[in-house]
Amino acid sequence: MATLENKIPEGQLAQKWQHYKSHQKLVNPANKRKLDVIIVGSGLAGGAAAAALGELGFNVKCFAYQDSPRRAHSIAAQGGINAAKNYQNDGDSIFRLFYDTVKGGDYRAREANVYRLAEVSNSIIDQCVAQGVPFARDYGGLLDNRSFGGAQVSRTFYAKGQTGQQLLLGAYSALSRQIGKGTVKMYTRTEMMDIVVVDGKCRGIVSRDLVTGKLEAHFGHAVVIATGGYGNVFFLSTNAMGSNGSAAWKAYKKGAYFANPCYVQIHPTCIPVHGEFQSKLTLMSESLRNDGRIWAPKRKEDAEAIRAGKLKPEDIPDENRDFYLERRYPAFGNLVPRDVASRAAKERCDAGYGVESGEAVYLDFKYAIERLGRDVVEARYGNLFQMYEKITDQNPYQTPMMIYPAIHYTMGGIWVDYELQTTIPGLFAAGEANFSDHGANRLGASALMQGLADGYFVLPYTLQNYLADELHTPRMNVNEGEFAKTLGDVNSHIEKLMSIKGTKSVDYFHKKLGKVMWDKVGMARNAQGLKEAIEEIAQIRKEFWADVRIPGEANEMNPELEKANRVADFLELGELMARDALVREESCGGHFREEHQTEEGEAKRDDVNFAYVGAWEYKGDNATPELHKEALVFEECKLVQRNYK
């Protein structure tokens, strides 16, 4: 059994990372090219890591299921990236960014990791500027900032409403440069099917070519999983259609612990669901909360009239509008953290004040247009407004936007130590795929920061520390031993799926799972519902393996088979999420247990019993997984109930 040794370096919090870097092992330039690194995923974490490791001279193989590394879902992040530059002279510092992140995460993150994240945040901005990322600038030519939820300073750097795109294209261009030089070999339309473990160490992966269906084993002295989050377990989410949890799940089933699976972020400002054939949800950037005011009708009869199509929101006078965030949280107002804003919207809608289908509230720019003029609003948010109008056929300059919370990000993920190494030596996890930096709730503009921090500035050091001891491990023959065995196992798994030849499509099961997850493992959870969810998911899983229909063949391009592989894993992962949520008898961040709330309906944490990372160990298909606890020790942050009032 692996142990949960988090390997936090000695010394004062602010000196730990320096201390680590000063004492770690290095690999000399001539030896680097003898060492192979496999990186699964090409988003901000994976793409940045592949580029940075290629630059150092390691021999890198990078895998993506899309047709190009530039398509990874990091590209969809809109609002911005945080850094502690303090260019605004508004009191920001590394310590404050660290503190805000720990507090925003509801004190469920590891202090040392978060401090390192804040520490390298400034280098990320410098790096991206050097790559030619066109960040927004002021007339003096210097970088501009905006504010995001959970912070009282302006520390968010942005490139219009397309920050994720620009940062990813920056990483992609750095990666392209290495591909051109031959240090990185890129495998597109290729999906990781399993990892290969030899004598307790991760030594490679088995992949499937999504064009030909061919399975192939690859050797690596180390493997990095940077495949993003598992939000699509809910079927409807802001994730891309292909985003999946399979790489992380396969690692879990080979012995990597899975940490805090129940921590899911529900983003408060998404376009509401419109109908049963909806395939995904679209996010409206958090940056809109800088200038938009969120409200619901104050009077139930107004909400009813709007739902019946008899009243329009712009005809409701101000005194009959309930700006519920400003009312409940005067200090932070519309800029409270995401979990708080989401629950407040749900509270209003559950109480009968929702509009449209009953599951929507307003995000109104009338006041911003009055205050700043339409031109300024258009310059700031024009592309987001256009996107909204294309989807809903409504003009947000004239009528308020409708929004509702949706699944957006998963804070949980593969357990990693300070070096981003999992409980399987040689297997690392980066970006959203790991659990490490955001605790129970991620602050806006911190996902981009973490992905790039892990990829550009953490893994190149920690991976090297591991690889220094692997110099004498020869490259292994991938046609024999564990490689051949794992490839055979993957092949059997696919054959088993193809041979079911049932009557229902993959999506049928995915939607069914998603509904259970949303209703019972979603924004508000209780013991009864979670127990039911565990039973129901097991039932859907049984039905899936008896009745799924996958047309076509395994040895060709087969998108239904790709989906089936991913949904088979979601059907197991969903159960673990429910189990984790059931055990965590407290409310913290995105995890809200109805049994644990204050009289005012705020989340009630239990630091005495639950200030730990819950890391689950796989024990076999028919056995209950085992929970291991990594105690969270807070030396710098004082644990207090979060207060945004």
Q: Which residues in 376-415 contact other proteins (CB under 8 A)?
A: 386-387, 390-391, 393-395, 398-399
Judged by CB under 8 A, the number of residues near other proteins is: 89
**With helix as H, strand as E and coil as C, how does 574-618 read?**
HHHHHHHHHHCCCCECCECECCCECCCCCECCCHHHHCEEEEEEC
For the chain, how big is the Rg over CA atoms in Å?
24
Query: DSSP H helical segments within 411-553, as ranges?
Result: 447-452, 459-467, 481-500, 506-520, 527-547
d(CA 478, CA 450): 33
With contacts defined by CB under 8 A, name the span among 402-410, 547-555, 573-581, 616-624 that binds other proteins. Answer: 547-555
**Of 7, 11, 134, 629, the one binding other proteins by CB under 8 A:** 134
Instruction: Give the residue, chosen from 66, 113, 260, 587, that forms a contact with other proteins under the rule CB under 8 A.
Output: 66
The residue type found at 312 is K
137 touches other proteins by CB under 8 A: yes
Q: Which is nearer to other proteins, 164 or 614 (CB)?
A: 164
Residue 566 is a binding residue for other proteins (CB under 8 A): no
Interacting residue with other proteins among 7, 15, 19, 241 (CB under 8 A): 241
Could you tell me if 333 and 305 are in contact, meaning their C-beta atoms sit under 8 angstroms apart?
no
What's the closest the beta carbon of residue 603 comes to other proteins, in angstroms?
A: 30
CB of residue 87 to other proteins, shortest distance in Å: 6
- For residue 39, the SS3 value is strand
Near other proteins by CB under 8 A: residue from 68, 477, 528, 539? 68
Q: How near is the Cβ of 489 to other proteins at its closest, in Å?
A: 27
Residue nearer to other proteins on the CB measure, 143 or 627: 143
Instruction: Examine residue 64 and tell whether it contacts other proteins (CB under 8 A).
Output: no
Q: Does 273 bind other proteins (CB under 8 A)?
A: no
* Residue from the set 69, 105, 220, 261 that interacts with other proteins by CB under 8 A: 69
Neighbours of 55 (CB within 10 A): 17
Q: How far is CA 255 from the centre of its chain?
A: 22
139-178 residues near other proteins, rule: CB under 8 A:
139-143, 159-160, 162, 164-166, 169, 172-174, 176-177
Which residue(s) pair with 497 in the sheet? none
- 304-323: contacts with other proteins (CB under 8 A): 309, 312, 314-315
Q: Per rule CB under 8 A, is residue 61 in the interface with other proteins?
A: no
3-state secondary structure of 122: helix
In our burial notation (b when 16+ CB lie closer than 10 A, e otherwise), range 56-66 reads bbbbbbbbbbb
CB of 70 to other proteins, least distance (A): 6
Whichever of 179 and 487 has its CB closer to other proteins, that residue is 179
Least distance CB 333 / other proteins (angstroms): 26
For residue 416, the tally of other CB atoms under 10 A from its CB is: 29
**Is 229 or 261 the residue whose CB approaches other proteins more closely?**
229
Per CB under 8 A, 211 contacts other proteins: yes
Stretch that binds other proteins, among 93-101, 271-279, 347-355, 438-446 (CB under 8 A): 271-279
Q: Rounded to 10 degrees, what is the CA torsion of 73, 75, 79, 83?
A: 100
Q: Which one of 2, 8, 55, 213 is in contact with other proteins (CB under 8 A)?
A: 55
Report if residue 125 touches other proteins, rule: CB under 8 A. Answer: yes
Check binding of 551 to other proteins (CB under 8 A).
yes
| Cβ–Cβ under 8 Å, residues 254 and 88 | no
State which of positions 486-525 bind other proteins (CB under 8 A).
505, 507
What is the C-alpha to C-alpha distance for residues 191 and 185, in angstroms, rounded to an integer? Answer: 15
**Position 346 contacts other proteins (CB under 8 A):** no
Distance (Å, rounded) from C-alpha 549 to C-alpha 502?
Answer: 4
Q: Quote the least distance from Cβ 235 to other proteins, whole Å.
A: 12
- Nearest 10 degrees: Cα torsion 55, 59, 64, 70: 20
CA dihedral 210, 216, 221, 225 (to 10 degrees): 30
8 Å CB contact between 416 and 225: no
The residues that bridge with 156 in the sheet, in sequence order, are 82, 146
CA pair distance 240, 235, nearest whole angstrom: 11
Give min distance, CB of 34 to other proteins, in A: 20
CB of 271 or CB of 611, closer to other proteins:
271
Min dist CB 427 to other proteins, Å, is 23
The answer to whether the beta carbons of residues 267 and 149 sit under 8 Å apart is: no
Which 448-467 residues touch other proteins, going by CB under 8 A? Answer: 456-457, 460
Nearer to other proteins, 54 or 337 (CB): 54
Selected range binding other proteins among 107-115, 122-130, 219-227, 573-581, rule: CB under 8 A: 122-130
Closer of 159 and 303 to other proteins (Cβ):
159
d(CA 262, CA 264): 6
71 binds other proteins (CB under 8 A): yes
Identify whether the C-beta of residue 96 lies closer than 8 Å to the C-beta of residue 114.
no
Nearer residue to other proteins within complex by CB, 282 or 526: 282
Question: Which residue in 12, 278, 320, 528 binds other proteins (CB under 8 A)?
Answer: 278
Look up 338 and say whether it is catalytic. Answer: yes
Closer residue to other proteins in complex, CB, 390/638:
390
Which CB, 137 or 371, lies closer to other proteins? 137
DSSP string covering 358-384, please?
SS-EEEE-HHHHHHH-HHHHHHHHHHH
The distance of closest approach from Cβ of residue 164 to other proteins in the complex, given in angstroms and rounded to an integer, is 8
Nearer to other proteins, 157 or 644 (CB): 157
Q: Residue 85 interacts with other proteins (CB under 8 A)?
A: yes
Pick the catalytic residue: 110, 208, 338, 442?
Answer: 338
Q: Which two tokens stand for residue 12?
A: 């004062």
Q: 185: buried, middle or exposed (CB in 10 Å: 19+, 13-18, 0-12)?
A: middle
Secondary structure (DSSP) of 389-446:
HHHHS--TTTS-EEEEEEEEEE--EE---TTSB-SSTTEEE-GGGB--SSTTSPPTT-
Paired tokens of 278: 């909806």
The site map against other proteins for 577-596 (x = CB under 8 A) is: --------------------
Which residues does the annotation mark as catalytic? 338
